[in-house]
Structure 1
Amino acid sequence: MSTLRKMLNLPERQPRGGEEEKTDAGEREFGSGPEESGRRPAPRAGLGWAEEEETSGRSFARRAGRVAIWCVIALAALTGVRTWVFPAKTPPPVTQSDPQAEARKDDVPVETAQQIAARFARSYMNLNSADKDARTKELESDLAKGIDPKLGWDGSGMQLVAQTIPGAVTQTGPHRARVSVDVRVSVTTRVKGKAATTSGWRALEVPVAQVGDRVVVTGQPALVGLPGAVSYNAPEGPEADSSLSNATREVVKDFLTAWAAGDVDQASAPGADIEPLGSGMSLDALDSWVVDAGTGDRRTGTAVVRWALAGAQLQQTYQITITKVSAGGASRWQVDAVSAKTA
C-alpha cells in the first residue's frame, strides 16, 4: 500500500488510537519477570512509521505510474467531451450497384425498337415501280435525316408485304441496336402471259439508334437467312388405359361433332369453358383416342382429329380432359377441357 500511496502522492498513514498503548502493555508484559528487570528497554519518545530512504528505481516507477494514471484519466475525459461536442455521425447507407443495370441504362428500348423496325421493314420490302413516292414518304418518317430513302432500290419490280413479325433486339453499343424482323412477302410474276403469285418469309436485320426520345433507323437493312430446323426428342408418353379409352371414345367423338357445329355447350361437362370453333368446319374422323393411365374422376387423353376445312382434310392432335358427372344416381363421362397437345 505504501508504494501506491507514493505513486498517487498521498500522505503517510498515521497510527490509530490504542496502538501505542497496546505496544507499551505488551512490552511491560514481556519484561515483567524478575530476571528481565535489568534488561528493560529504554522508553522511546513516540511510535510512528519509520522513515526509509527511497531508491531512485522506486522513485522513477512511482512517477511513471502517476503519469500513466493521469494520462488514462485525461484520455477518458477528452474522449467523452469530444463525443458531447462532436457526436458521431451515422455513416450513409452503402448502396450496392448492379453492373448489369448500369450497362442496360444505355440500351435502346426493346419494344420501341421492335415497333419502329417492323413498320420500317414493311415499307422497305413493299416494292411498287408504279408508285415510288409512297414508299419514299413512308421510309423518311423512320429514317435518320440525311439518309437517301431509296436505300439501294433501283425503282423497278413489284412485291407486297403481307405481315411483319419483329424478333430479337441485339444491343450493339450505347444507344445503338440491331433488330431482326421476319417479313412475309408475295411476289407476282407472269409465266406465258399468266400471272402467278408466290409467297414466302424473308428475314431482315434493321439497324436502329436512340436519339433523345425517339428511335430511328440509321442505315440500310440487310436480308439474312432464316433459321433452319433442329432436332427434338419428345419425351415418352404415359401408359394407356385401354378400357377407359374404349368406353369414352363415342363421348369424345360426339363432343367433337358438336364442337364443330357450334353446339359445344350441349356436349361438354357442366361448368366447362370451351369456346366454339366457328363456322366452315366439320368432323371428318376421330382417328385415335387414348386415355392416359391413372385414377380418379378426372382424366386426360390424346385425340387425333381430322377436320374437313376449306375443301381439304386437316389432321390435328388435341389434349382432352374428361370428367365423371353424376346425376339422378347415374354417372357418365363428359369433356371438360380441350387444348393443343404438347410433346
Structure 2
Amino acid sequence: MARRSTVHDPRIADGPGLSATLDAADFDTPPPRRPRRGGWSGGGGRWLVWTGRIILWALIAVILVNGVRAPFERFTQQESASPAGVTPANKGFPAEQGMSFAAQFAGVYLNFNPDDAASRSRKLAAFLAEGMDPQMGWDGFGRYAAVAIQPYDIEVADAHNAVVSVAFQSGPRRLMLSVPLYSSGGEAGRRFVVAGRPAILPAPAPAQLPQVAEPETDDATAAELKPQLEGFFKDYADGDTAGLQRYVAAGKSLPSFAGAFTFSQLKEVVVPVGGATREIQAVVVWAVPNGDVPATPSATDPAAVGGTLEQVYRLTVEKQGDKWFVADIRGGGRVLG
C-alpha cells in the first residue's frame, strides 16, 4: 500500500500548511524603531533657533524698560531739584553784588557839605538813572558825614528789584540807609542803578546780654601764673623772640607785637579749676604811644606816658614740670570773675 507524501506543494492553492505567498501588508508597516539613548530628540538646529529667540526677546524687554524709565527718572530729578513753589535764592536777584553797589553809593550819598556839592553831584551820577535829581534831594546847604559804612541786609522783590539796607555811623549814632535798586540782569548780573530816593532809618537796638554764672576759680594757680604772664606779655609786646620763648610751651611758637604796644599792666587773671592744661582769661593794659614817640608807662610826664588800652585775652596754659607755659593766645570772650 503506497503512502501519501506529506510535502506541501506551494503551487496548490488553499492547500494546508504554510503559504509561500508574501502579504502586501507586510511591506506597508514599518519595522519598530529602537529608542535612542541620550541627546535631544529635536530635529536639526531647532534648539539654536529657540535660544536666539529667547535672547532677542530679552534684549527687546531691556530696551523697552530702559526707554520708559529714563524719561521718568529725568522728570523726577527735575521735580526734586525744583519743587513746586520753590524759587531760586533771592529770587534770582544778584544780592551780593547789589549790596556792594548800595554800600558804595551810600559812601557818596551820606557825605555832603556846600563846599563839595559839585563834586558830590558828579560822583552820584555813576549810580543814578538818567533824569534823576543829581543831588538826590539835598538842597546844597548843611553838612553831614558818615563812617563805618557796611552792607547790612537785602529785601528782594523779584529778579530785578530789591531794597538794600546799609549800616553806618554818624557821630554817636548808628543808623541805617535803605537804598532801592534795580538790576538789569546784563553782564552776568553786574549792572545796577539806584531806583528811587533812599531813606535813613534808626538801626536796631543793641542785644540784651544775659547774665552768666561765674565759674569756680583757682586763686592759688592764678597767683602762681601771674608773674609768668607778666613776663610773657612784656616780651609779647616788645617782640623779644628769645625772651618770649621762655614762656611758651615746648614745641609751640607764637608771633608778637614787635613793639607796636608797650606792656603796662596785667590787671586780672581768671583761672578755672582744672588739670595741667587750662584755658584762662587775662585782662591786659597796653600803653599806647603818642604819635611816633614810644609810650613809657613809668614816666612822670603825661605826654611820655601816652594812653592806655585795656583788652581781654584767652590763653591756653600747660604745666610742664613745676612751671606754667603758654601754648596759645586768642581774643577773649566775656570777662568772667
TM-score by length of 2: 0.64
> C-alpha displacement at 1:146, in angstroms?
2.9
Quote the Cα distance in structure 1 between the aligned partners of 2:255 and 2:179: 39
Structure-2 residue corresponding to 1:121: 106
Quote the Cα distance in structure 1 between the aligned partners of 2:134 and 2:250: 60
Which whole-Å deviations, capped at 9, do the CAs of 1:130-151 have from their partners, x for residues lacking one? 2322212221212233322211
Is the CA contact 1:272–1:336 (under 8 Å) kept in the aligned structure 2?
yes
Q: How does 1:155-194 map to 2 (within 5 A)?
A: 155-185=140-170
Quote the Cα distance in structure 2 between the aligned partners of 1:127 and 1:151: 11
Within the candidate set 30, 55, 68, 1:90 is matched to: 68
Structure 2 alignment gaps of length 5 or more = 1-56, 290-305
> C-alpha displacement at 1:289, in angstroms?
1.1
Structure-1 residue corresponding to 2:333: 342
Quote the Cα distance in structure 1 between the aligned partners of 2:117 and 2:278: 61
> C-alpha displacement at 1:208, in angstroms?
1.0
2:222 is the counterpart of 1:227: no
Within the candidate set 263, 269, 272, 1:283 is matched to: 263
Is the CA contact 1:107–1:176 (under 8 Å) kept in the aligned structure 2?
no
Structure 1 alignment gaps of length 5 or more = 1-79, 186-197
TM-score by length of 1: 0.63
Q: Report the secondary structure of 2:204's partner residue.
A: coil
Is the CA contact 1:108–1:209 (under 8 Å) kept in the aligned structure 2?
no
Is the CA contact 2:240–2:258 (under 8 Å) kept in the aligned structure 1?
no
2:282 is the counterpart of 1:303: yes
* Amino-acid identity (%): 28
Quote the Cα distance in structure 2 between the aligned partners of 1:171 and 1:273: 48
Quote the Cα distance in structure 1 between the aligned partners of 2:195 and 2:284: 50
Quote the Cα distance in structure 2 between the aligned partners of 1:160 and 1:278: 35
More strand, by proportion: 1
Q: Report the secondary structure of 2:97's partner residue.
A: helix
Structure-1 residue corresponding to 2:124: 139
2:97 is the counterpart of 1:112: yes
Q: How does 1:1-343 map to 2 (within 5 A)?
A: 87-88=64-65, 89-91=67-69, 92=71, 93=73, 94-95=76-77, 96=80, 97-98=82-83, 102-104=87-89, 106-185=91-170, 200-213=173-186, 214-263=191-240, 265-266=244-245, 267-296=247-276, 298-310=277-289, 311-325=306-320, 331-343=322-334
> C-alpha displacement at 1:277, in angstroms?
2.8
Quote the Cα distance in structure 2 between the aligned partners of 1:102 and 1:334: 55
**C-alpha RMSD of the superposition:** 2.7
Quote the Cα distance in structure 2 between the aligned partners of 1:101 and 1:274: 50
Which whole-Å deviations, capped at 9, do the CAs of 1:240-299 have from their partners, x for residues lacking one? 123322221111111111112222543433443433235352222212212211123x21
Quote the Cα distance in structure 1 between the aligned partners of 2:251 and 2:134: 58
> C-alpha displacement at 1:101, in angstroms?
5.2
> C-alpha displacement at 1:108, in angstroms?
2.0
Which whole-Å deviations, capped at 9, do the CAs of 1:309-340 have from their partners, x for residues lacking one? 24333222221111234xxxx55211121122
Moved more, 87-96 or 211-220: 87-96
Quote the Cα distance in structure 2 between the aligned partners of 1:228 and 1:206: 21
Is the CA contact 1:142–1:216 (under 8 Å) kept in the aligned structure 2?
yes
Structure-1 residue corresponding to 2:299: none
Quote the Cα distance in structure 2 between the aligned partners of 1:225 and 1:243: 49
Quote the Cα distance in structure 1 between the aligned partners of 2:312 and 2:279: 13
Is the CA contact 1:303–1:317 (under 8 Å) kept in the aligned structure 2?
yes
Distance 1:122 1:207, change over 3 A: same
Q: Report the secondary structure of 2:234's partner residue.
A: helix
- Residue type matched to 1:181 in 2? V
Moved more, 315-324 or 228-237: 228-237
Q: Report the secondary structure of 1:170's partner residue.
A: strand
Structure-1 residue corresponding to 2:54: none
- Residue type matched to 2:121 in 1? T
Quote the Cα distance in structure 1 between the aligned partners of 2:157 and 2:90: 13
Is the CA contact 1:122–1:183 (under 8 Å) kept in the aligned structure 2?
no
Which whole-Å deviations, capped at 9, do the CAs of 1:66-108 have from their partners, x for residues lacking one? xxxxxxxxxxxxxx9xx77x94532321121245752436342
> C-alpha displacement at 1:237, in angstroms?
4.1
When the two structures are aligned, how many residues end up with a matched partner?
245
Quote the Cα distance in structure 1 between the aligned partners of 2:85 and 2:233: 51
Which whole-Å deviations, capped at 9, do the CAs of 1:202-243 have from their partners, x for residues lacking one? 321111121123122111110000221231214334321233
Is the CA contact 2:183–2:192 (under 8 Å) kept in the aligned structure 1?
yes
